[in-house]
Structure 1
Amino acid sequence: MRNLFKDLWNDRRGNVLIIIGAALPVLIGAAGLATDTIQWTLWKRQLQRAADSAAMAGAYDRAKANGATTGIATSVSHDLTLNLHTAMALQTGYPQVTFPANSGSMKNQVKVTLAVQQRLPFSSMFVPNPPVIIANATAANIELGGDACVEALENSATKSGIQISGNAGIYMPDCTFHSNSKASNAAYAKGSSAVTVDAVSAVGGIAQSNNWTVNAYRPYSPAMADPFANINPVASNMKCAQVSTTKNGKTTTTYPALDETTDLNNSKDAGGNKANCFSSLSVGANKTLTLPAGTYYINGGDAFIQGNLTCNDCTIVLTNTSTATNATIGQFKVNASSNINITAPTSGTYQGIAIFQDRRAVDSTQTNKINGNSASVITGALYFPSQELQYNGTGNTTATCTQIVARRVDFSGNSTVSNRFKRMTDCTAYGLKSSGGTITIVRLVA
């Protein structure tokens, strides 16, 4: 190469310089066009990334708003403020935000279109109007199918929704665990626990570990709706048992508990109606309580099971006749060596719900517990929307068709749960039904 330039320098004929001079504009033009093309390509990539991010932000907003679109423009604009790095303003009229119709498994779609136009030094000498660079992105909620068998409603950014520790063994291969927690570890398994589920999803993060055996981790998924949010106990339906005694002209009224000694046929409320409401529920150690079908309201007290409880086609409702927002709501506790066999009703207000705790319950350090060596069968939903449900000890509950919905769910000790159904729709014979909270994730679809 050095010799070639030396020969050109020493050449006196002039024709080589003429050729080089003639070719120089082409060479400079090619270099300039290449430089501008690279810049256009860079802007296109930056614009596409911004459109992708904005579309996903819009889809998350729409999922959070249950399909409403009123706040999406704000979410898209905020995301573009953070993620648009072209160093130039968008064209007038952009961003354009549209909402394609639902298509198959794709719901709540959001399409974002961005455009920029900027003159470049070289191309502007030949092209009076530079090209408009356009980027489109569409994001949607993709339904993955199947309701969650275990759903934690905790939505804070500091508390985990699903906690599995100790020697807990959980086998639900056809089910999904979901946590609405926004925490960095919204659902975790640690210790010697072993969890087999189809998938684990959360609004926040999920740390992978050898404790999980899953087909899919789905962190940063949209929140799942409370499947029983519209169900509230009605005080007028509660016929609370009471006993009035008169001594020395003074009448004293007491409100009895429901236990193994209760005569249900002769338990009456103040109006003489057959009672379905009691101050508390208790079954003593080595005792047995068999309840006929129905709804049993526990008025402000706890349900404490130390012995054996059987109830087919029934729901136990922890609530209060008071309509005050701070009314006392009891807890459900199953002690060691207890057996509970409850089958939820297949119709009516509490269809598919075996145990229902009023959402006015205060979230505190005290929790609801299924504890110890209880070998129980609960068919239906366990619903504790405002408090934690702990399953610990050496329980070996067989959850043939069981759904757990609680503020937080804690499996610990040596607990084992087996579950052999694929999704809620496979349990319609037991009153359970799809919650409408199908597992979804936000993805780019175009």
Structure 2
Amino acid sequence: MAAWFAPQNEEFMRNSLTKIWQDKRGNAMIIAAAALPLLIGSAGLATDTIQWALWKRQLQRAADSAAIAGVYERAAAESATSGVPDAVTKDLGFNQHTGMTLQSGYPAITYPADSGSSKNQVRVVLAVKRPLAFSAMFMANAPLIRTTAQAATVGSVGEFCVLSLQNNSKTGIQATGNASITMDCGMMTNSTSTNAAAGQGSSSVTATTLAAAGGIQQSSNWRVDSYQPYSPKLEDPYASLAPDSSDFASCASSPPSLSINGGNSGLVVAGGACYSSLSIGSNRTLTLKDGTYIISGGSVNIQGTLNLTNAVLLLTNKDSGTTQTIGSLDMNASGQINATAPTTGKWKGMAIYQDRRAVDNAPTGNITSSSPNKINGNSTNKITGVIYFPNQQLTYDGNGTGSATCTQFVAKRIYWSGNSGLNNFTANCDLAGITAITTTLRVRLVS
């Protein structure tokens, strides 16, 4: 009986398994069951990867901010590093919002050496360990997330005596001929040209800084401590300053012209006045003092000597229309100007002002030797104050040997030419009523 049952049972089992093997109705379930661990694993790894990338990005942002804060601290402390750790820690308290606790020994702060234009460098390294929901089942320790950020000041902070407001791809400052300029401050142009400031001929310009919104081609004509190409543009520092009705109180309906050419040489005018034009003949002298002097619609031509004492000369127009004629300044031959701007009041610091309604004689923006505004000839000029021509070019030409103590030149374009020389060209002076033109501190992440 037992002998018969065993073979029969064996055959039964074989037949049953054969039927199951040949039956396709359960294949999908078997394949799904086999693939399920792979699907779960893939989803878990994808979730972990996204979470890890998010933490990494948050940590990197915190490191970037901390490094920048460290550089600002170094710059404020004249490159000293003693206050940097506190600045970094304080910034992390503000900007590390992930709730992650840094690993022991972090933040790690180092100070790479200056490299090119990159100064006051600070490198900050942050690290955390965070368990990942899925991977933690297979890892004995949480993975380390580590980020590094390095920041520096780029270029140097500058104080500028010369600002070109040229705001296109044409040259804004040019020195040519035998022009010789010496200053203990800098020059800046908003030109975006690849050659925003051009030195030519035998010209020589000595300055602390030469900066531009565009490029600057290094040249033996420029003798500067610091090139700052591709700097942020500077706003017109006097954009809000304009004549108003109180300034035109002295203007009659038809202002007279004033010509100094004969027996009236040596005339002294005090308290302000309004003229349609002004001319001073060769070897003649005019003194305007203690007030605001309007030139309404006409120009100023100086062949003799103009003394501005505690006074401002306004090239403007008493009529308010936007198309009214605005005159220019032409000082030539042996002309001379001695200017001291007011130190108080609305026009403090301003020596010569041209209304921004003046039409640019070179609408394409090309710098040219035929400028409508010239300080020209064998002049021995002494200027304390702002020379302001925001919409036209200003040319300093000839054989001048002027002294520009506490002076700013602000113009659309500035052209130094001839044998002009500005020696003892000193920085802006608060006591002269002049507000210094400076760049803002530029801090950037560097590699």
- Look up the SS of the partner of 1:316 in the other structure: strand
Which residue of structure 1 lines up, in the alignment, with residue 235 of structure 2?
225
Tell me if the contact between 2:213 and 2:232 (Cα under 8 Å) persists in the aligned partners. Answer: yes
Alignment of 1:338-353 (within 5 A): 338-353=335-350
State yes or no: 1:154 paired with 2:166. yes
- The alpha-carbon deviation at position 140 of structure 1 amounts to 7.5
CA deviations 1:297-334 (Å, max 9, x no partner) are 11111111111111210000111122222221111111
Match of 1:144 among 132, 151, 156: 156
State yes or no: 1:304 paired with 2:301. yes
- State how far apart, in whole Å, the 2-side matches of 1:320 and 1:178 are: 29
Which residue of structure 2 lines up, in the alignment, with residue 12 of structure 1?
none
- The alpha-carbon deviation at position 134 of structure 1 amounts to 6.8
Match of 1:434 among 433, 436, 441: 436
State yes or no: 1:378 paired with 2:375. no
- What do you get for the CA RMSD once the two structures are aligned? 3.8
Which residue of structure 1 lines up, in the alignment, with residue 444 of structure 2?
443
| Residue-pair matches, total | 329
- State how far apart, in whole Å, the 2-side matches of 1:189 and 1:127 are: 66
Which residue type is aligned with residue 224 of structure 1? L
State yes or no: 1:255 paired with 2:255. yes
In structure 2, relative to structure 1, the CA distance for the partners of 1:238 and 1:136 (3 Å cut) is farther
Structure 1 residues not aligned, in runs of 5+: 1-87, 114-122, 243-252, 268-273
Identity %: 45
Which residue of structure 2 lines up, in the alignment, with residue 202 of structure 1?
212
Which residue type is aligned with residue 209 of structure 1? S
Which residue of structure 1 lines up, in the alignment, with residue 331 of structure 2?
334
Tell me if the contact between 1:224 and 1:439 (Cα under 8 Å) persists in the aligned partners. Answer: no
Of residues 258-267 and 357-366 in structure 1, the stretch that sits farther from structure 2 once superposed is: 258-267
In structure 2, relative to structure 1, the CA distance for the partners of 1:275 and 1:136 (3 Å cut) is same
- The alpha-carbon deviation at position 103 of structure 1 amounts to 4.5
CA deviations 1:223-275 (Å, max 9, x no partner) are 12222122111134213444xxxxxxxxxx743113335999999xxxxxx87
| TM-score in terms of structure 2 length | 0.64
In structure 2, relative to structure 1, the CA distance for the partners of 1:314 and 1:104 (3 Å cut) is farther
Alignment of 1:53-64 (within 5 A): none
| TM-score in terms of structure 1 length | 0.64
Which residue of structure 1 lines up, in the alignment, with residue 130 of structure 2?
none
Of residues 373-382 and 254-263 in structure 1, the stretch that sits farther from structure 2 once superposed is: 254-263
- Look up the SS of the partner of 1:214 in the other structure: strand
- Look up the SS of the partner of 1:215 in the other structure: strand
In structure 2, relative to structure 1, the CA distance for the partners of 1:211 and 1:277 (3 Å cut) is same
CA deviations 1:80-120 (Å, max 9, x no partner) are xxxxxxxx9x95696987877765647xxx9999xxxxxxx
In structure 2, relative to structure 1, the CA distance for the partners of 1:318 and 1:194 (3 Å cut) is same
In structure 2, relative to structure 1, the CA distance for the partners of 1:254 and 1:128 (3 Å cut) is same
Tell me if the contact between 2:251 and 2:273 (Cα under 8 Å) persists in the aligned partners. Answer: yes
- State how far apart, in whole Å, the 1-side matches of 2:191 and 2:224 are: 19
Which residue of structure 1 lines up, in the alignment, with residue 312 of structure 2?
315
Tell me if the contact between 2:272 and 2:292 (Cα under 8 Å) persists in the aligned partners. Answer: no
- Look up the SS of the partner of 2:430 in the other structure: helix
- Look up the SS of the partner of 2:294 in the other structure: strand
- Look up the SS of the partner of 2:301 in the other structure: strand
Match of 1:294 among 287, 291, 295: 291
Match of 2:282 among 282, 285, 291: 285
Alignment of 1:67-78 (within 5 A): none
- State how far apart, in whole Å, the 2-side matches of 1:97 and 1:232 are: 45
Tell me if the contact between 2:269 and 2:287 (Cα under 8 Å) persists in the aligned partners. Answer: no
